[in-house]
Amino acid sequence: KSLRHQRGVGLAILMADIGAKNALIGRCYMNRGKAISQRVMGKRPLLRVEGSTTFIRNGAQWVKYAGITGHCDSAINGNSTIHHGPSQDSSLSKGRQSLSSNAAGTTYFLKFDGEKAHHRGPLPLRLELRLSREGRDPWSLRYLSTGSSYTDDGISGDGCCYYAEFDSGECWWGTQNAHGEEDGILHEILTEMDVHRVAFGNPTSPFAKKSSWIVIGKDGSVAWRNIPQGLHDVLMERYELTRCSTPSGTIADVPHRRSPVRKGTNVGIIRADAAAPCEVSLGVAGTYFVRFMDGTVDYSLPSFAADVCEKLEAEGKVIRNVSLHSDTYDCLVRFSVKTKI
């Protein structure tokens, strides 16, 4: 019960995409798509609508992870390859029930306590192809983060960066952006770090000349590149740099951990008197959210999302996570109905 309150049992849905909103309400309010019986679930959670925001009091109670994964322009490319559960057939093309096929608009990923997963819309192309090539069950994904699927001119590209973790603990990632350009530094970071969370920024924003991302390790270490200044400043208050990017584009050791910060990639270790981050997301136009293990949060959100967070906090609730994505203003807010633990 304490774990569920730490991750947030309440859910606020802030989506202009009506189709995506209704689909998500169906998953979290109507109790569909979960491996938890109605007998265990008990009564349906309380739902209320205020303006454009839908609040579900216990809508995320059985959700391990919920994240916005982007925006799909066309239903033609919107076939989902993630499914309800395992089949006796090892082939991805047989014996499985597809979830949310032909879903255009905002896409999202849900992982439930009962080990079932749901993804609305298409998975990243390279992830989808690898799943098919290796005959892996996409329902066993437990965490998924994706980057922008748009090029600098606003056209949908050939793919996007992604980071995926399976129930087994195995992790896959792709560091090619929508232009097909490989981010060697990010690949190096993901190879070296035992990853807890990854967030990708908008490569067309003023904060990201080539790529934008932040990686949180399970040991509290953090690596980041071209993130919004506010988030950078918050991290620098808590971290001592161990590595920085060099003019050649590689990353090297920092002789003096309190030396001036260089632009580009930074890798830091948490200071002894500081709490490490546990949730982070990057959104449109330099927006971000971060929560630390001591319960403190810092964010720069679109005004409508900031208003919802302030309203929840005024009601005595605790913001646990705000899921953003660089391809859409739609977002999800997870909150606890009790005071900080």
DSSP state string for 186-205:
HHHHHHHS-EEEEEE--TTS
Q: How many other C-beta atoms lie within 10 A of the C-beta of residue 97?
A: 9
Task: Name the residue with higher pLDDT: 114 or 88.
Answer: 114
> In the structure, what pLDDT confidence band is assigned to residue 1 with cuts at 50, 70 and 90?
low
Residue 286: CB atoms within 10 A of its CB come to 20
Average pLDDT of the segment spanning 107-129:
90
- Taking a C-beta distance cutoff of 8 angstroms, is the pair 183, 153 a contact? no
Bridge partners, 159 (sequence order):
none
Q: What percent of the chain has pLDDT over 70?
A: 72
Specify the pLDDT at position 270.
84
Given a cut of 90, is residue 76 above it in pLDDT?
no
**Per-residue pLDDT tens digits for 205-257:** 555 456 899 999 999 999 999 899 999 999 999 998 887 765 545 565 554 44
Q: Helix and strand tally (H, E) in the chain?
A: 7, 20
Per-residue pLDDT, 81: 37
Q: Flag whether pLDDT at 54 surpasses 90.
A: yes
Q: What is the pLDDT of residue 179?
A: 67
Alpha-helical segments (H) within the chain: 2-7, 18-28, 38-41, 125-134, 184-192, 229-238, 303-314
Q: Is the pLDDT of residue 143 over 60?
A: yes
- The residue type found at 113 is D
Burial of 73 by CB count in 10 Å (0-12 exposed, 13-18 middle, 19+ buried)?
middle
Q: What is the mean pLDDT of residues 259-269?
A: 65
Hunting for tokens 């050649």 — which residue is that? 248
Between the alpha carbon of residue 297 and those of residues 41, 180, 290, 293, the distances in Å are: 30, 34, 6, 9
Provide the pLDDT for residue 272: 79
Would you state the pLDDT for residue 97? 41
Euclidean distance between CA atoms 278 and 299, whole angstroms: 14
Half-sphere exposure of 81 (CA within 13 A, CB side): 21
